[in-house]
Amino acid sequence: MLLFWSLALLLLAMTLALLLPPLLRRHRPAAAPDSDAAAIAVYRDQKQALDNDLANGSLTAPERDSAVLELSRRLGEEVGAPKQTTGPHRPMPRAWPVAIALFTLIPLAAVVLYVRLGNPDATALATAGNARAGHELTDAQIVAMVEQLAQRMKSRPDDPQGWILLARSYAAMGRFAQSVDAYSHAAALVPDDAALLADYADALAMAQGKNLAGKPTELVTRALTIDPKNPKALALAATAALDAGDPDRAIGYWRQLKAQLADGSEDARQIDSFIAQIEGTRGDRKGIDVRGKLTASERTAPGASTPAKGASGATIAGRVDIAPALASKVALSDTVFIFARAIDGPRMPLAVLRVPARELPKDFTLDDSMGMAPGAKLSGAQAVVVEARVSKSGNALPQPGDLSGKSVTVKPGAAGVKVVIDQVVP
């Protein structure tokens, strides 16, 4: 933050340094010709003309002498006349008001335009990118930055990107009620964003007890109306249809999602498994109820682990597994967070993926669309470590008893990254 404002002030100073000096520079009049030399030159020419007239008989000697005498008198008057002097050179009369106006208005305009068109709130989380190695943020500091962003949004309620950033942060922390409130503000400002509506529906379902019925389903329907191929909206729609007891419609949504995936991919195989389970329990309400116990967020895994539409930048792909010694400590109700952190930088994850523990071992793909802050992207990191944590509480922040593991250092674009969960959080 300090570096940003320092550079901004430096640029303003350079701009003013280029504009103001020409206005304030003393204006010097162009040098006037030597009036004495000009008068003497005219006298010589006129005397020569009189001599020529005398020689060719046009003038008599007395007439020529009288004219020369008059010329000499006039020359003496002109050469002896005092010269008009000028005062000290001053700037143009209006230069000072213009210079003062520029000095005041240019910095003011720069600040106003940045506040209106920029995104100052992104620095609430992205400021950590200036941290050097060995000065990582603690979890408490991350929470404090999120709260700081929440306070800023009270004075900037018309900033949709700020609300989206706040909503994602709350969701990653497991604070779904607050995430829903932030998403509602963002959706009011950007009503036609399918990805935003899908995220809003997911957070709302989690906030009302992992149930997509009601408004979450309405949001998913709106999202699919805007973008019928949105992966997360399709997965949520399939879940909602299954929960409503409509397996045929659920299978239809799953097949639409599978059509966007690479044949033979882990996500495609997972969708095949979902479809097989639904078809195996078709008409069996008890079987459908068992599927209904899976949460909305858990069943969005295929769409979530596939780069979202419009995602850009490098990706990291790999597999998360659980060490045999800890396998017995993992419950099907646990949540697994898979995330990438920069080696030289803050603890704020550059990309986060949340999946149910029952899917372990899990093939994953991380990309820029899974980031928590606009200023901190996976594609912009030099090197990262991929970490995985089994959360007993479903909270994104580590708790005693959680299980964790991490990869070796890799670069964005890496594939085949291996993460083994082999540690217990003290």
Has residue 367 got a pLDDT over 50? Answer: yes
Highest-pLDDT range among 29-33, 313-317, 322-326: 322-326
Query: Strands, DSSP E only, in 289-415?
Result: 316-322, 335-342, 351-356, 362-366, 384-391, 403-406
Q: Is the pLDDT of residue 286 over 50?
A: no
- Give the separation between CA 27 and CA 22, rounded to whole angstroms: 9
Please check the confidence at residue 21 and state whether its pLDDT lies above 50.
yes
- Give the residue-averaged pLDDT of 219-237: 92
pLDDT reported for residue 69 = 73
The predicted pLDDT at position 62 comes to 75
Question: Which of 212-221, 242-251, 279-288, 303-312 has maximum average pLDDT?
Answer: 212-221
Q: How high is the pLDDT of residue 313?
A: 55
Distance CA 213, CA 60 (A): 127
Question: Average pLDDT of 353-369?
Answer: 88
Q: What is the pLDDT of residues 408-425, one digit of tens each?
A: 999 998 999 999 999 998
Q: Is the pLDDT of residue 281 over 80?
A: no
When pLDDT is cut at 50, 70 and 90, the band that residue 183 belongs to is very high
pLDDT at residue 410, rounded to an integer? 93
The answer to whether the beta carbons of residues 104 and 112 sit under 8 Å apart is no
Question: Mean pLDDT throughout 194-198?
Answer: 91
DSSP-assigned letters across all residues of 28-46: PPPPPP-HHHHHHHHHHHH
* Nearest one of 329, 301, 297 to 204, comparing CA atoms: 297
In percent, the amount of the chain with pLDDT more than 90 equals 19
Q: What is the pLDDT of residue 258?
A: 87
pLDDT at 206: 85
Q: At what angle do helices 266-280 and 285-292 cross, to 10 degrees?
A: 150
Contact assessment for residue 23 and residue 91, using Cβ atoms and an 8 Å cutoff: yes
DSSP 177-188: HHHHHHHHHHHH
pLDDT at 45 over 50: yes
pLDDT of residue 316: 92
Q: Given this model, what pLDDT does residue 221 score?
A: 94
Average pLDDT over residues 236-245: 87
Q: Quick check: 153 pLDDT over 60?
A: yes
Mean of pLDDT over the chain? 75
Q: How far is CA 209 from CA 178, 194, 197, in A?
A: 14, 23, 19
Q: Given pLDDT bands bounded at 50, 70 and 90, which one contains residue 36?
A: low
CA distance 108 to 21: 20
- Predicted model pTM: 0.48
Q: Which pLDDT score, from 0 to 100, does residue 166 have?
A: 86
Q: Looking at residue 370, what is its pLDDT?
A: 79
Please write the tens of the pLDDT for every residue from 84-113.
544 455 545 555 666 666 666 666 666 666
56 pLDDT more than 50? yes
- Residue 347's pLDDT is 67
Measure Cα distances from 255 to 38, 234, 356 in Å.
Answer: 100, 9, 21
